[in-house]
Each structure stands twice: as structure tokens, then as C-alpha cells.
Structure 1
């Protein structure tokens, strides 16, 4: 046997003997009455410390759950705020507005009542503008419900940008249709007659546009992306198609 192996064996045996001695000393200390109470107190303190650590771990888990709930609540509040801001900025023009008699207080004197009656009669005799029906903007929830294969890489803002352009065409078209013929120049009169020619029995009483109307009043390309967005608008029941005479009419739902 080599001397190095013998020295290693001796060291190992000595370490074992030292460990046994320490174990015996600790056992003897535990049997002494003066140290027994100390060991008991140390055991109790360790038990209390273990219990405290368990409670702290439970509290950390509860705080983690509360943090996740607050994050979800914050996201929901931000979505509601964006939707409310979007609705306030895009109030449909065809909604009824409050009348002056409901929003103002009556401060006239009794002797001035005949003038008020005359002004009310004048208001009734004046021709009220016909409200134009527009395409309502797509909400975030509706856009998220559209199948992925249908919307592809399109975003929520891109779809509503096209809706805004379509509404420009609707407003421009029906502004001309509601305009007296005497006030039109030659170009506007040609548009007026084309609008009437595009109408059919299926579109009577409806608001609709064709691609030529959108090109006339909105800077929008009639490309593949445009027709994909039209499919999304049909899916969300914003538009429907009426075909005839080699022309597609997009009727507002």
C-alpha cells in the first residue's frame, strides 16, 4: 500500500472518530439538567419561527394574487376608458339633439309671448335637414371576435379608418342628393344624376354607396385590403351588399 493511501485512510478514520466524539458530547449535554431547558426553549423558538415563515409565505401568495387581480382591473379600466373616449369622439350625427325649449330657461316677460309664438312657428315652417345614416365604428370586442383568417394582419385602427372614409363618402353623396338642383353646377349635377341612376327598388329608403362614390369623396384605394375590410364590416353587420347591373351597392345596416 502506498504511503499516500495510508495517510488518506488515517485522516478519514480520524474524522469519523472526531464526529463520534462530538455526537457523544452533544448527547451528554442534552442529558444535563442545566442545558435541557435551554434546548427545549431553542426547539420552541424554532417551531414558532417555522410557523411564522409559513404565515409569511401565505401572505406573499395572497399579495401576488391581489397584484394580478389589480393588473386585470387596470387593463379592463383602460379598455373601458378607450371605448368611452372613442364613443364621445364619434357620436353619430343622426342621433336626436336636445331642443332649445328643454335646455334653456324661459326668461321672457309675459308681454313678449307673441314674439316667442311667432319664432316657434317660423322654426316649424323651416325645412329640417334630413339626417344621414353613417356606419358605426367597430368596437374592440367586435374586432377581437372576427376570425383570424378573415382579418389577417389588419389592425383595429385600420378597419375604423376605412369606416371613417366610407362615412365621408356617405355624407358627401347625400349632401348632394339633399341639395336643391338650382344651386348645383354642371359637375355636381352629373354626380346627382349618377346617384339617382345607381338606386334600385332594393335600395329605396336606404343609405348606400358604391366604389365610385368612395373614390369621389375619400382618398381610398379599392385594393385587396379594402375588400378584406368590407368582408369584416359585413361580418360585423355594418354593411350588406346589393348587386345588380354590374354594380355592387354597399348598404348601411
Structure 2
């Protein structure tokens, strides 16, 4: 058994040495192969193939680098998307209860022809007011973005809800006033007629065609107190372009923007 193992090892060694010698001979033959005219075309073809393979490898390397950049970009987008999704989910689960509800910018009231018809018709959601109706313009509620943009010296301790509460009361006064103005005189009671005459007397050249109220209207149609906080809220509404002031005839006219 020892003899077989030694023979096998010696045979392997001889094979290995002979293979090396054969490779050396091939290298020696290839060293001068370019001098053989019959082999030159083959060598040129091999050279061209090597060049093509080299160019292909360069293109593959460039493409791999681009794919790696694209992969990194996709990872960044995925991370940003996941973050935005979490923020959106958080906002969805924590919607503030004080966001303003949609409000109509105007309502319509009928043009009354019969003496007994004095009640306003409920507004209809149409693009244009129906024939025989008149439009009453209202101020839109303040959005949270607008409230945040108000300078601190104007807001003070006034809350978002307090501002919109005043907007709603101003709208109430505007609607009640112009419902009266749109009524025929014959259908009015004596107190309503007195209000009508006051409204017309308070109009000036600067308020013609505009919707406005004065402090007397606020006292007449709302429960608002005309105190320091009320006038501070008016400053906020002027800043947010919901109302503007026009002075004339000894009055301040609050015009709806």
C-alpha cells in the first residue's frame, strides 16, 4: 500500500512538471507568433475582440455605478415617503377641532312683491342667484394659517375661536340689516321702518354699493360687547382683509371685504 501511494504521488508530480514544461513551450511559441504571417489575422481578430470586451466592461461598470446611485436615490425617496406618511397619519389622527367650517360668502333673499311676504327664503346652492333675489355678502371665517400670520402684538391673548365668533356675529348683523333694506316699505312695521330709515341715512358716497354695518347695527342684532377685546379683534380682521373701515358722517362704517 505504501508503494502504491508513493507511486501515485510521484506520478502526479511528474504530470504537474510536464504540464508546466508544456505551458513554457507554448509561451515560447507564442512569443514569436506575430512573425508568422498566417497567424497575424487571428491575432488581430483576438486583439479586436479584447478591445470590444474591454469597452463592454467599461460600459457595464458605468451602468453599475448609475444603478447604485439610482438605488441610493430610491432609498432616500422611500425614507422621505415613509416619514411624510407618518406625519400625514399623525395629522389625520389629531385634526384640530377649531378648524373653520365652510361658510357661504353670501346669501340670497327674495325680492318681496306681496305685502304679507316678509320672510327670507333659504339660500340655494346655485352658481347664480335666482331671478328676483338679491345677494347679501358675508365675511369668510379666518383660517388657521391666517391666524398664525397675524403679528403677536395684534393677537395678544385673543384666541382663534374668539376671532371667528366675532366674524359670525358680524355676518349675522349684516344679514339682518340687508334683509330689512331689501323689504318693501309697505310690509314693514313701525320699528323696522325706523331701522330702514337709519340704514339709508348712514350710507355715504364711499359706501355706495358696498355691504357695511356700524356699531349701532352690532348692538341691534348681536350680543357682542363693544369692549377693548372687540376692537382688537377688528384690528385682526382688518389685517386679514375681512373688513375695512370708512369714516364719514361721524360714524365708522365697517365694510365687508
Same-fold status (TM-score > 0.5): yes
Alpha carbons 2:104, 2:138 under 8 Å: kept = no
Partner secondary structure for residue 230 of structure 2: helix
Question: Using a 3 Å threshold, how does the CA distance of structure 1 residues 92 and 138 change in structure 2: closer, same or farther?
Answer: same
Give the number of the structure whose residues are more often helix, by fraction: 1
Q: Which has the larger radius of gyration?
A: 2
Question: So what's the TM-score if we normalise by structure 2?
Answer: 0.57
In structure 1, how many angstroms separate the alpha carbons of the residues matched to 2:248 and 2:212?
Answer: 14
In structure 2, how many angstroms separate the alpha carbons of the residues matched to 1:159 and 1:93?
Answer: 19
Aligned to 1:232: 236
Question: Using a 3 Å threshold, how does the CA distance of structure 1 residues 227 and 85 change in structure 2: closer, same or farther?
Answer: closer
In structure 1, how many angstroms separate the alpha carbons of the residues matched to 2:90 and 2:204?
Answer: 47
Give 1:97's match in structure 2, choosing from 109, 125, 128.
125
**Matches of residues 42-191 of structure 1 in structure 2 within 5 Å?**
69-77=84-92, 86-87=101-102, 90-94=103-107, 97-98=125-126, 128-191=132-195
Question: Using a 3 Å threshold, how does the CA distance of structure 1 residues 192 and 225 change in structure 2: closer, same or farther?
Answer: same
Question: So what's the TM-score if we normalise by structure 1?
Answer: 0.58
1:142 is displaced (CA, Å) by 0.4
Partner secondary structure for residue 130 of structure 1: strand
Provide, for residues 2-55 of structure 1, a one-character-per-residue CA deviation record: whole Å limited to 9, x for no partner. Answer: xxxxxxxxxxxxxxxxxxxxxxxxxxxxxxxxxxxxxxxxxxxxxxxxxxxxxx
1:252 is displaced (CA, Å) by 0.7
In structure 1, how many angstroms separate the alpha carbons of the residues matched to 2:99 and 2:231?
Answer: 29
1:86 is displaced (CA, Å) by 1.2
Q: Structure 1 stretches of 5 or more lacking a match?
A: 1-63, 100-123
Q: How many residues align?
A: 164
In structure 1, how many angstroms separate the alpha carbons of the residues matched to 2:227 and 2:100?
Answer: 31
Aligned to 2:209: 205
Q: Once superposed, what is the RMSD of the aligned Cα atoms?
A: 3.1
Q: Structure 2 stretches of 5 or more lacking a match?
A: 1-78, 109-123
